[in-house]
Amino acid sequence: MCDRYGQEEPLSRRALITGITGQDGSYLAEHLLAQGHEVWGLVRGQANPHVARLRKHVGDVRITTGDLLDQGSLISAVERVRPDEVYNLGAISYVPMSWQQAELTAEVTGMGVLRMLEAIRVVSGISPSRTPGDGQIRFYQASSSEMFGMVRETPQNEKTPFHPRSPYGVAKTYGHYITQNYRESYGMFAVSGILFNHESPRRGAEFVTRKVTLGVARIKLGLANELRLGNLEARRDWGFAGDYARAMRLMLAQDTPEDFVIGTGETHSVRELVEFAFGTVGLNWRDYVVLDERYTRPAEVDLLCADPKKAREQLRWEPEVTFEELVTMMVESDLRLLSESARPEDEPFSPDHW
């Protein structure tokens, strides 16, 4: 059987993942491989050092080059891979950095979505007068709960208005709306998953959850004597990244393209996170945590809590890992990591993954 390009059609579905060297990309790659997909990752540069580490931990992943800043490279990548599904996870995803590099964040995290949609549209030959057929490429955009920002209601669902409070949140909001626009303008199968905070042992060391669990591990092992943090009262809906990867695939498996909020529906403060993490190793957090104003955001997001009812009912998706299990998993992983090496940089997953 031949596909839309006149070439032999693969037996399994073929997925292309941007941001594959990040936390979410690695879990999604694992999940899709387990489901029998052929998985390709888009990376910048021929000698990307994170690819070998990714393959060591994830398995049989194929690689193609491309850059969310370069339209031509994305068109070439889509032509080369001929995917059935594209998962756009690539972004500058560290919120504090988005104030320091606001323009780059807009280009990668916002305009990068447009460039990937355009690549799919151009390669597929879609235009206002030519709509896609049944075998079209399906597109997933990684939207974010940071789009809600100064929330209008709690919990937040698919109809809650956006009020982003960071350049990152603003860029993600653009990506969300342009995905919606291409779906409505061209009939493309394009969806956004509005994912609330999702963590794991593969989370970058700059994120607060991982900063806490690494800090706890360092203090327990005698490598540090304090942990400096900013706002302890901010509350988040934290889940396990592996659970959220399942939801991404389920969204592209639906008959019609729709957006979904993905989260646990439970919130915990940074203070609760800190208390539980220190408690897992038998320490009192008050003896080690130092408040530092340098880690306070210019515009804080105080409370994010998901209403995942639609995902439960339509996707039949439920989170499997609890908050307590997640934090314990991360602390135990960081204790092992630091027992083998004092440098968390030796981890296989990159914070720079567009």
The radius of gyration of the chain's CA atoms, rounded to the nearest angstrom, is 20
Element containing residue 17 per DSSP (H, E) = strand 14-18
pLDDT tens for each residue of the chain, 354 residues long: 444 444 444 558 999 999 999 999 999 999 999 999 999 999 987 667 778 778 877 888 999 999 999 999 999 999 999 999 999 999 998 888 888 999 999 999 999 999 999 999 999 999 887 878 778 999 999 999 999 999 999 999 999 999 999 999 999 999 999 999 999 999 999 999 999 999 999 998 989 999 999 999 999 999 999 999 988 998 999 999 999 999 999 999 999 999 999 999 999 999 999 999 999 999 999 999 998 877 676 766 778 999 999 999 999 999 999 999 999 999 999 999 999 875 665 565 766 567
Catalytic residue, chosen from 18, 173, 213, 264, is 173
Cβ-Cβ contacts under 8 Å for 232 (sequence gap 6 or more): 269, 270, 271, 274, 289, 291
Compute CA 10 distance to the chain's CA centroid, rounded to the nearest angstrom. 27
What are the CA-CA distances from residue 29 to residues 64, 132, 138, 202, 239 (Å)?
Answer: 14, 26, 16, 14, 18
Told to judge if 173 belongs to the known catalytic residues of this protein, a careful annotator would answer yes
